[in-house]
Amino acid sequence: MTEQTAVVPAPTGTAAPGVGRALSVGQEALWFLYQLAPESPAYNITLAVRVRTALDVEALGRAVAALVTRHVVLETTFAEVDGVPRQFAASGGSGGSAADGTGMPHPSGQAPGRLEIRDVPGVGDEALLGLAGAAGAVPFRLGAGDVFRVVLLRRSAADAVLVVAAHHIVSDATSQWLLLRDLLAAYRGIVAGGAPDWAPLRSGYQDYVEAERALLDSPKRDRLERYWRERCAGVPAGVLPIDRPRPERQTFDGATHHLRLPDDLAARVRTTATAAGVTPFAFLLGVFQSMLFRYGGQDDFAIGCPVATRHGRGLRDVVGYLVNSLVLRSSFAPDATFADAVAGAHRELLAGLAHVGYPFPLLDRMVGASRGAGRAPLFRIAFTMVAADRLDPPLPLVPEGAVVGPEIEYAGLRLAALDVPQLEGQFDLSVELRQSDGSLTGAFRYNTDLFDAATIERLTGHYRRLLEAATVDPARRIDRVSLVDSAQLEMLLALGTGGVRPGQ
């Protein structure tokens, strides 16, 4: 999720004892998707860190329990009441509003997952990464209060991987880092013989839900609906040429290809964006849209952009699904330049963020109704960016070709990030760029029903090539840039003369 900040109305909270609490519109959409494929891990979010310090396992278990008490959304059960999805907090916990303190029974009577410890002595780094990914990918059971887990994979007393996983219906990218931060703060406080070292929450997730409902019941709804209806009228979803026919039913099967831009190119992206009066994200987005223009031949199309909907100090530390998706439309003239594409992306981002309060699932329903049965989705490709250097703990990115990132000292522990595959197969292609300490990396998550790995690897190379061209000469026409580098051109020429056979 790109952590662009959007305004959410001031929170209010009301309880509905006996019938659970309302879901946010985004949660309702995730509940629907969960019912379609309850065994799929496509909406599991995982954060994994390597810990090179001996851990007090008893204290860590108490810290996990304290974390669940603090963020009660982590012990939520989802069920339908008279055909309407509702959420129920475990007995004794707040239903989500930090102010009202109202608790509701947990229908399953089960406690949420606690710390699970697995000893894996002698396992190599690659295998350890696979075990961490597998621990995070175990399907959750939303109807049984199973929405969150913490797993400790121990190679030795002072070498382990801590896996923090949750279903997207109760978490988002920012929330996962909040959970890790709060878990480590609780652990530090408990080890020191005291209480968890954190400030009280000002709000809970249910305050966010109530604020969203209040907005949708206000006159602002008409203005937001009007903007999105007009903006999305008649626009097709951006597409890429696929390697296989699209299956009738999406299976959420996916994989990830990683890209790291050279540091000098990342620096040129920032300076070129500044010179153009746009953010680096808008620049990267505009060049990505330029690539889609070149690939698909579409001169008018839409892609999605997940954004965080946190505003103010009240929601800053709240764990939950606080995300919306913008539909970003882009149009290209035959002679469009990179500067044109970047300026258009910048304008579209600003306009979308000004109207972000309208939940995407309602937009999809509203616009989709006018397209008729069997209509295509509003977007099949998503693009976002995370400012990793603003996250806490500030874990450096995993270098290209490595399994584990550089170590830092945090909360008395030696920690390093692991890049665990996740959120794969949701879209045809979903790109998450990450910036940290001047570096730019990208996770290109793709649906393996549609694309071969070689296709996505080639696409990422073309994206890098277009970025290089756009930073050298933003006024250059997009259609004048060759997507074939010198080595590929030499290979093609050799094939044309019979000098090289395919597969050599």
- Ordered by start, the domain boundaries in the chain are 25-210, 219-389+423-496
| H helix or E strand, kind and range, residue 344 | helix 338-354
- Per-residue pLDDT of 97-146, as tens digits, reads 433 332 333 333 334 448 999 999 999 999 999 999 999 999 999 999 99
- Per-residue pLDDT of 322-350, as tens digits, reads 999 999 999 999 999 999 999 999 999 99
Q: Is the pLDDT of residue 370 over 90?
A: no
Q: Is the pLDDT of residue 373 over 70?
A: no
What's the pLDDT at 490? 61
What is the CATH number assigned to the segment(s) 25-210?
A: 3.30.559.10
pLDDT band with cut points at 50, 70 and 90 for residue 252: confident
Question: Cα angle vertex 71, ends 99, 97, to 5°?
Answer: 20
CA distance 55 to 353: 43
- Per-residue pLDDT of 411-444, as tens digits, reads 999 999 998 988 888 999 999 999 988 889 999 9
- Per-residue pLDDT of 21-75, as tens digits, reads 999 999 999 999 999 999 999 999 999 999 999 999 999 999 999 999 999 999 9
Which is more confident, 235 or 3? 235
- Per-residue pLDDT of 271-311, as tens digits, reads 999 999 999 999 999 999 999 999 988 999 999 999 999 97
- For 160, residues 6+ apart whose C-beta sits below 8 A from its C-beta are 50, 51, 55, 152, 153, 154
Which is more confident, 108 or 243? 243
Q: What is the DSSP string of 135-201?
A: HHHSPPBGGGTB-EEEEEEEEETTEEEEEEEEEGGG--HHHHHHHHHHHHHHHHHHHTTS----PPP
Q: Are 202 and 94 in contact (CB under 8 A)?
A: no
What's the pLDDT at 1? 38
Which is more confident, 94 or 239? 239
State pTM to two decimals: 0.87
Q: Is the pLDDT of residue 175 over 50?
A: yes
Secondary-structure class of domain 219-389+423-496 per CATH:
alpha beta
Do domains 25-210 and 219-389+423-496 share one topology? The answer is yes
